[in-house]
Amino acid sequence: MTFRSRLTVPRRYAVLLRQLCGFVAAIVLPWLATILTIRIHALHGTPLALSFVSVAGITLLCGLSPGLLAVVFTAFIFNHFVLAPPHFLAFGLQSLIYTAIILAVGFLIAFLCERQRVTGRRLRAALTSLQVRTDSLTEAQQASNAAAWMYNIDDGRLQWAVGGARVFGRPFSDDDPLQDALSFIIDEDRDRVLQEYASAIAASHSFESEFRVRWPSGEVHWLESRGNPSPANAKIWHGVTLDITDRKNAEFALVRSEKLAAVGRLSATIAHEVNNPLEAVTNLIYLALSEPLLSPEAKVYLERADQELARLASIARRTLTFVRPKPSAGPVSVPQVVESVVDMFQPRCTARGAQIRIHCNAELTLPLPPDDLRQILTNIVSNACDALPRSGGIIEIEIVRHDKTASISVRDNGLGISPENLPRVFDPFFTTKEDVGTGIGLWVTKDLVDKNGGRISVQTHFLPPGFRTMFRIEFLTD
């Protein structure tokens, strides 16, 4: 016996049992209906009402055959108890007419109820099939992280399919604000999406667009929307919106890896070519420092230049951080390095009417290479200088020690960082300074901090009054 036959046998028994119960009811219920009609005075005016109700109920519950049998028994009992009491049957013309009418009306009721039963069964089957398809659509939407939609051009109503993924970070419901889904699109992408959709409607061709939306949590997600006009009605558009954030991140990661590979190949060449002229300039500075007629001020400048050349040579030897041997672990005096970085950028800030402040309560040393700390602070302070306003710019560097950790905070009152760019500030080749930026500075900074066991973070809220951006670097002191 197959699996299917094992399933159908109980069902066949159930059908037979229902038929048997129907035949029993077809015999019993007409008797009960007639007895109640005789005993209840209020039913004398409609002596067949309960009988026809029983016929309808038997047909709806048990099928057509028990219903027809109930009609026959109803006609027989009516003839025996009503038309020919106390005789067994009446065969007069009047009784025959009444019996024919009862049979005709009863058969009509039975057939109508059977039709209603079949229609109800088909409707339930259709609803079950529709529910199965709806569940399948819901599973497909959730699995593909998508939401299906239908848009009516005439009334501008946007309807979302049941069970769609939360592509906008919000649940779907009948009164949901997702009716105005365009409001969630980032401003930079909204006009382009509207133009693409208007062009698709005008030409009656398929619509496809990629854009960014901001979730209630502040996260930025990439979505792709596709749609086509309905073949039956060009005013109705059907489509689907997918969350392609993971795919976009993978694409960005692939592009970054290709760029990093190219920069890696280029950096080896740069390190080799730059190192020779650096050694030559270092030798020339050494000779200049040996000049007896050199003024003290010029000697200080040449010594500073020699220090910066030594640092540049160290960076070149490590091929722009792509090949980095383990350098000496310090210790390094944090206030001294901070002061040297401030001295480097002070003329630049003064020329722009800005100032740099240092807040340091105590001497602090860290077990990391001096060149690494200097490079970290140089990159952060340089970005802060670029973001300062034309006048009234302020950069504050605060050094604080907490038990076994030390933090260096660099904050400024510049342009700030937009929320959508905040998660990407440490990504390689990401920059908002298209003319002068390369997008490598903060990435190198984070790499240096991580390799020295530290942690770097960026903050744009809950800052002291007037400041808009703060980078915090934390290291272990022991």
pLDDT in tens, 248-277: 888 887 777 777 766 666 666 666 567 667
Q: Are residues 300 and 199 in the same domain?
A: no
Quick one: pLDDT at residue 85?
55
State the DSSP code for 231: S
Residue 381 pLDDT more than 60? yes
Is 204 within 8 Å of 231 (Cβ atoms)?
no
- From 227, 243, 259, the end of a domain falls on 243
CATH code, domain carrying 151: 3.30.450.20
> The dihedral of CA 322, 328, 329, 335: what is its sign?
negative
Q: Is residue 296 predicted with pLDDT exceeding 60?
A: yes
Q: Are 346 and 472 in the same domain?
A: yes
Choose one of 97, 120, 138: the last residue of a domain.
138
Q: How confident is the model at residue 55 (pLDDT cuts 50, 70, 90)?
A: confident
pLDDT at 117: 86
Q: How confident is the model at residue 164 (pLDDT cuts 50, 70, 90)?
A: confident
Round the average pLDDT of the chain to a whole number and report it: 80
Contacts of 436 (CB under 8 A, 6+ apart): 386
Q: Which domain holds residue 42?
A: 3-138
How far are the Cα atoms of 326, 337, 342, 347, 397 from residue 300, in angstroms, in the given order? Answer: 31, 17, 17, 17, 26
Determine the pLDDT at residue 395: 94
Q: What percent of the chain has pLDDT over 90?
A: 9
**CA quadruple 304, 305, 307, 311: dihedral positive or negative?**
positive
> Is residue 14 domain-shared with residue 127, that is, in the same domain?
yes
Do 209 and 253 fall into the same domain?
no
Instruction: Pick the range with the lowest mean pLDDT from 266-275, 443-452, 457-466.
Output: 266-275
Question: For residue 72, is it within any domain?
Answer: yes
pLDDT 10s digits, 115-126: 988 888 899 888
d(CA 58, CA 229): 50
Q: How many domains does the chain have?
A: 4
Cα–Cα dist 159/180, whole Å: 10
- Phi–psi pair at 155, nearest 5 degrees: -100, 0
Domain co-membership, 305 together with 371:
no
CB atoms within 10 A of CB 185: 21
Mean pLDDT of 388-410: 89
Amino acid 4: pLDDT: 44
Indicate if 225 and 258 belong to the same structural domain.
no
pTM of the entire predicted model? 0.47
Instruction: Tell me the mean pLDDT in the region 298-320.
Output: 74
Together in a domain, 24 and 90 = yes
Residues 105, 52: Cα–Cα separation, whole Å: 9
Q: What is the pLDDT of residue 1?
A: 41
Residues 199-250 pLDDT 10s: 888 888 888 889 999 888 888 899 999 888 888 787 888 888 999 988 888 8
Length of the chain: 478
**Does 327 reside within a domain?**
no
**Residues 76 and 27 sit within 8 Å (Cβ to Cβ):** no
Average of per-residue pLDDT across 302-321:
71
Distance CA 326, CA 29 (A): 98
94 and 215 housed in the same domain:
no
Residue 469 has pLDDT above 90, yes or no: yes
| Mean pLDDT computed over 281-285 | 77
CATH of the domain at 391: 3.30.565.10
CA dihedral 203→243→154→234, nearest 10 degrees, is 40
